[in-house]
Chain A
Amino acid sequence: MGINKVQYGNTTLIDLTSDTVTADKLMQGYTAHDRTGALITGTATGGGSGGNVWQDAQGYVHLDDEGTTPITVESLSVTQNGTYTAPTGKAYSPVTVNVSGGGGGGLEYETGTWTPGEDVAEKWISFTNTHQDLPFQIIISDIGSTNPPANSNVALIISSWYSAFGAPAYIGGTANIYARAQFLAKGASDGASSSSGVSINALSGSASNTTLSFWVTTTQFRAYTNSTSRYWRSGRTYKWIAVWAPTT
């Protein structure tokens, strides 16, 4: 007979009579004393559908201390926008989320910067060869320099700006920006074909002409003769972001 309660005078020193631990709730191999004071050895090895994941009488969830039966972990890939509920009863790792392009409803985008070494009136923005159409929007912002000159802030949005005949179209902004799109052959340097007007029909050109570039300029038709006093300023950094809607 075990001892389950110890009193000294009117003071209770130890009282196990209300404890709830039992051998079947104690993990196998571990020892304790139950409410009668008897030494018990745990027999619990797990329970329910959770394998070696089990819940004790106090509501705590335990994992298999030995690690001999690890929980099955599966990879999970989410390709849709919105709320996604993973199947219950499993653990997932890694979880991959990819909802851009490919008909997933997301947007494709590219970003870049340029910092003129000297004041220039025009600049090419070039994209990778992965896009098959015009971006539906480009945003250019002037993100500054350590020595910003006056009257050079630029923050503009390019959308629906191109002309049917390829001439740079006025797109506004505080610096009077003009732009047009053009395909350049793979490996061609920026501005290689800038001397003539380019039709947007070039977008359906040959497969070898797949480098899409934008010419953003402060002039209208004179690529290399500036007719205004506005420039992309040396020392400043201009950042652009171009956005495409998925095509499939």
Chain B
Amino acid sequence: MRYYKNIENGYILAIGMGGGGTEITEAEYNTIMAVIQQKPKWENDVDYHLKTDLTWEPYERIPEEPSEEIDAEEALEILTGGAE
């Protein structure tokens, strides 16, 4: 099985098994997984990025209100197949 990690802007966004990303060893996968499972809880508008050195970096994150509806502009984009 192939193991990989996704890194963006110095943060580990995800690890996984299969294709894609940067290949890592099973040992590194297990190490990162253990760190992810111990992520600090998101509370008081503070969440955390996982840095490549496997430490957590706090950042401000305000919960968004769930929205099931799309606005008119987005509806038009869907109809015309437009991208961002």
Contact = CB atoms under 8 A, between A and B. Distances in A.
Contacts of B15: 114-115, 117
Contacts of A229: 63-66
B7 to A, nearest CB: 9
Interface residues of A, number: 47
A235 B33 CA distance: 8
A64 B82 CA distance: 78
Contacts of B78: 167, 170, 220
A197 B50 CA distance: 29
A90 B28 CA distance: 50
A190 B6 contact: yes
Nearest to A176: B68
Contacts of A220: 70, 74, 77-78
Nearest to B41: A147
A213 B11 CA distance: 21
A167 B81 CA distance: 6
A221 B78 CA distance: 9
Contact of A112 (B18, B32, B67, B84): B18
Contacts of A230: 66
A126 interface: yes
Interface residues of B, number: 38
Contacts of B22: 189
A112 B19 contact: yes
Given A127-B19, A229-B63, A115 B84 contact: no
Nearest to B66: A229
Given A128-B19, A228-B66, A115 B14 contact: yes
Interface in B14-43: 14-22, 32-33, 36-37, 39, 42
Contact of A126 (B12, B18, B65): B18
Given A229-B64, A229-B66, A235-B36, A116 B18 contact: no
Given A190-B6, A227-B67, A229-B66, A113 B17 contact: yes
A221 B82 CA distance: 9
Interface of B: 6, 11-22, 32-33, 36-37, 39, 42, 47-50, 63-68, 70, 74, 77-78, 80-84
12 contacts: A112-B17, A114-B15, A117-B15, A163-B81, A164-B81, A165-B80, A189-B21, A220-B77, A227-B67, A229-B64, A229-B65, A235-B39
